[in-house]
Chain A
Amino acid sequence: MKPLRDAGLSALVALGLFGVMIGLKTDAGPHSLVLRARPWAVAAAVAAVFFGRLAMLYWRQWRPAGTPSPRHVAATLSRIGRYAAPLLLAFAITLPLYAGRYWLDLGVLVLTYVMLGWGLNIVVGLAGLLDLGYVAFYAVGAYSYALLAQTFDLGFWTCLPLAGLLAALWGVMLGFPVLRLRGDYLAIVTLAFGEIIRIVLLNWVSLTGGPNGLSGIPRPTLFGLKFNGGGGPGSFADFFGLEPSISQRVVYLYFVILGLALLTNWVSLRLRRLPLGRAWEALREDEVACRSLGINVTVTKLTAFAIGAAFGGFAGAFFATRQAFISPESFTFIESAVVLAIVVLGGLGSQLGTALAALVMIGGAEVFRDLQEYRMLIFGLALVVVMVVRPRGLVSGRTPSVALGGRRHIGADMMSEGHG
């Protein structure tokens, strides 16, 4: 009887919520908006909630006794991870061989978010600093490249390190005053910083073009060879005697972002095994203990912020060169939120998890584009399901950075998520 009452209660709540949200629809009438009632849609939604809840409760009761423990699941997942990572990499490298233009474009988009996720993972996953304004560094990188390229006529490969450096500088400038704050306070200040950067970009019309943005940003070249659709002297197609085609540029862009993402991955994996990365993780575990061991907490946090920001800046520069047009609209808070969701869903500190989460979230969102209005619903539902089933993210836990014997996986239940 109890499950029935429980399900009835859930249905009642659903009725209260959906009664207005689904039950009433505004349509454009001949003179003004008209309100249309949709009782059947509400009934369907409420019934779905009722039976869904009932099924869930019964499943919980009758679930077989030998349900695997979370630790066992984590160990299995980490074993799968060992094969999944090389497979995923092989898939990513060979994609241009069999994928068409659409899929490659999607690949570029996913890889951009993978890279952003890996960059933010350094700050949030390793150092445990909750940064809600990561998009600020993405924007700094993008505008740095666009302005440097247009003002000084520099190429993509010259500007890329500069864009990263400038973003890192901004990371330090932001970090210096705010890193004394912890937890929620840090999150709110970084969020504000992201907005400030966007608003400055929007209003500093003489430099950034304001809401009109910057257009005609130069495309990347390969050792001076251009990728333009028309071919012509000095172009990639002309040099190799190929038929000029726009898809050559797409393939090139795809490999550029793949390389940048792999660089991010390599640097963060490497840093994790070094004293700096170890200090980040120690900071996430216990800041007070770090201080008692003589670790300069401020400098250590700043390095995490700066290195994370630098990768955000690289990704920004790539974004600018790919789009050839940027405007403040591309750097809203929702971008920070999506990247953070990728990191959290993937499992804090996990490289493979972040890549998988980016693939599912960005790739999934694109694939479901046809479903239009249901897209966000499916998206939200997926988030809730993952957080219920695996609250620590898809791939949680960590591998020790150093070991006397074999490196054994450490479950996430041992780890702290950081308070800074």
Chain B
Amino acid sequence: MAPLLAVRDLTMRFGGLTAVDALSFEAREGEITAVIGPNGAGKTTVFNCITGFYRPTSGSLALARGGGFALERMPGHLIARRARVARTFQNIRLFAGMTVLENLMVAQHNMLMPNVARGLLAVFGLGGHAKLERAAIEKARLWLDAIGLTARADDPAGALPYGAQRRLEIARAMCTDPVLLCLDEPAAGLNPRESDELSNLLRQIRSGMAGLPGCSILLIEHDMGVVMRISDHIVVLDHGRKISDGTPDQVSHDPKVIAAYLGEGDEDEIPAEAQA
């Protein structure tokens, strides 16, 4: 498969600290690429560079879509809007005081309101807004069904249980019609059954569901069960550097990876489960 996102020599420094050090990897189209590594390895920093929240110190982030996008030079909102890279956050960031449905509607903002003039015309019922709104509700309904939250559509997002909030955040990101979905530890805090459901949801998103086109996924995750089950390709980071890159099988047998995780001392997650 062709590379969708090519990260080349990405470096991110915070003062004296080099959080990401000359990192290169590729995320291929139609695949789930996992980025793993011990705490503080620089995974979230890589995501923040890809989605425009940080400007990389050096290096390039090329997204092969349309004429190609140089993400390292684009402002954050355009990365989501034009390059169509969506993300979720390590600490859930829902609009807690808005309903589940409203969260999904806000995600379709640019479709509903292509520019300010159209947004203001809608006040007087002009500009075909009603039709767009109906289409947006239909799409939201589709995703509500997919994540099993249709019954709670009118509840405030902040009142949902933790697992449901995680799923809602994924659905909200998907409502922006992304080509690449970046998930920062989506399984954190989920129980085993919820992790299984999440794995299924991510597989469905990758291959395309209910008439929607498939979407490639970039995944940060500490739960090795989930990573090994669904990833097509794994990149391992440690102290900002890539120490391994390959299929789940290759990576889990890489002595460098085992050393990095064992070096942490209390990591019981990786090798045992991975090699099983």
- Chains A and B come from one and the same complex: yes
Q: A residues engaging B (CB < 8 A)?
A: 267, 270-271, 274-276, 278-279, 281-282, 285-286, 288-297, 299, 303, 398, 400-408, 410, 414-416
Q: Which residues of B contact A275 (CB under 8 A)?
A: 105, 109, 112-113, 119, 122, 129
Contact of A405 with B77 in the complex, beta carbons under 8 Å: no
A-B pairs with beta carbons under 8 Å apart, 14 shown: A267-B123, A274-B113, A274-B123, A275-B112, A278-B98, A293-B106, A293-B107, A293-B176, A294-B78, A402-B99, A406-B154, A410-B97, A410-B99, A414-B159
User: SS class of chain B's interface: helix, strand, loop or mixed?
Assistant: helix
Interface centre among B81, B86, B106 (most CB of A within 10 A): B106
A270, A281, A296: which contacts B123 (Cβ < 8 A)?
A270
Q: Which residues of B contact A296 (CB under 8 A)?
A: 77
Contact of A289 with B99 in the complex, beta carbons under 8 Å: no
Contact of A414 with B96 in the complex, beta carbons under 8 Å: yes
Contact of A398 with B97 in the complex, beta carbons under 8 Å: yes
When each residue 193-210 of chain B gets 1 if its CB lies under 8 Å from chain A and 0 otherwise, what string results?
A: 000000000000000000
Q: Assuming the A-B contacts A275-B112, A408-B154, are A295 and B93 also in contact, with contact meaning beta carbons closer than 8 angstroms in the complex?
A: no
Q: Which residues of A contact B99 (CB under 8 A)?
A: 400, 402-403, 410
Q: Nearest Cβ in chain A — how far from B144, in angstroms? A: 8
Which residues of B81-113 are within 8 A (CB) of A? 81, 86-87, 89, 93-99, 101-102, 105-107, 109-110, 112-113
Q: Assuming the A-B contacts A278-B109, A293-B176, A303-B119, are A405 and B154 also in contact, with contact meaning beta carbons closer than 8 angstroms in the complex?
A: yes
Contact of A292 with B116 in the complex, beta carbons under 8 Å: no
Apart from A281-B98, A292-B51, A400-B154: 16 A-B pairs, beta carbons within 8 A: A270-B123, A271-B123, A274-B123, A275-B112, A276-B113, A276-B119, A291-B53, A291-B77, A292-B76, A292-B86, A293-B107, A293-B172, A293-B173, A294-B80, A400-B99, A416-B97
Q: Nearest Cβ in chain B — how far from A52, in angstroms? A: 36
In this assembly, does B156 line the interface, its C-beta being within 8 Å of a C-beta of chain A? yes
Distance A294 CA – B107 CA, assembled complex (angstroms): 8
Size of interface on B: residues with Cβ below 8 Å to A: 47
Shortest Cβ distance from B129 into A: residue = A274
Q: Nearest Cβ in chain A — how far from B245, in angstroms? A: 27
B107, B116, B141: which contacts A404 (Cβ < 8 A)?
B141
Contact of B106 with A282 in the complex, beta carbons under 8 Å: yes
Q: Nearest Cβ in chain B — how far from A78, in angstroms? A: 14
Contact of A402 with B101 in the complex, beta carbons under 8 Å: yes
Report the number of A-B residue pairs with Cβ-Cβ less than 8 Å: 133
Distance A286 CA – B141 CA, assembled complex (angstroms): 23
When each residue 27-48 of chain B gets 1 if its CB lies under 8 Å from chain A and 0 otherwise, what string results?
A: 0000000000000000000000
Q: Which residues of B contact A398 (CB under 8 A)?
A: 97
Q: Which residues of A contact B120 (CB under 8 A)?
A: 276
Distance A405 CA – B208 CA, assembled complex (angstroms): 28
Q: Which residues of B contact A274 (CB under 8 A)?
A: 113, 119, 122-123, 129
Distance A271 CA – B120 CA, assembled complex (angstroms): 8
In this assembly, does B153 line the interface, its C-beta being within 8 Å of a C-beta of chain A? yes
Contact of B119 with A403 in the complex, beta carbons under 8 Å: no
Distance A415 CA – B156 CA, assembled complex (angstroms): 9
In this assembly, does B158 line the interface, its C-beta being within 8 Å of a C-beta of chain A? yes
Distance A5 CA – B106 CA, assembled complex (angstroms): 54
Q: Assuming the A-B contacts A286-B93, A299-B116, A414-B158, are A278 and B106 also in contact, with contact meaning beta carbons closer than 8 angstroms in the complex?
A: yes
Distance A416 CA – B173 CA, assembled complex (angstroms): 21
Q: Which residues of B contact A299 (CB under 8 A)?
A: 116
Q: Which residues of A contact B77 (CB under 8 A)?
A: 291, 294-297
Q: Nearest Cβ in chain B — how far from A408, in angstroms? A: 6
Shortest Cβ distance from A397 into B: residue = B97
Q: Which residues of A contact B107 (CB under 8 A)?
A: 293
Q: Nearest Cβ in chain B — how far from A368, in angstroms? A: 36
Contact of A285 with B95 in the complex, beta carbons under 8 Å: yes
In this assembly, does B137 line the interface, its C-beta being within 8 Å of a C-beta of chain A? yes
Distance A379 CA – B105 CA, assembled complex (angstroms): 42
Distance A292 CA – B50 CA, assembled complex (angstroms): 11
Q: Which residues of B contact A414 (CB under 8 A)?
A: 96-97, 156, 158-159
Name the 9 nearest CB pairs between A and B, nearest first.
A415-B97, A294-B80, A294-B81, A285-B95, A275-B113, A275-B112, A276-B119, A289-B93, A282-B106
Distance A295 CA – B150 CA, assembled complex (angstroms): 25
Contact of A403 with B153 in the complex, beta carbons under 8 Å: yes
Q: Which residues of B contact A408 (CB under 8 A)?
A: 154-155
Q: Which residues of B contact A402 (CB under 8 A)?
A: 99, 101-102, 105, 133, 137
Distance A400 CA – B152 CA, assembled complex (angstroms): 13
Q: Assuming the A-B contacts A274-B122, A275-B119, A414-B158, are A404 and B106 also in contact, with contact meaning beta carbons closer than 8 angstroms in the complex?
A: no
Distance A294 CA – B178 CA, assembled complex (angstroms): 11
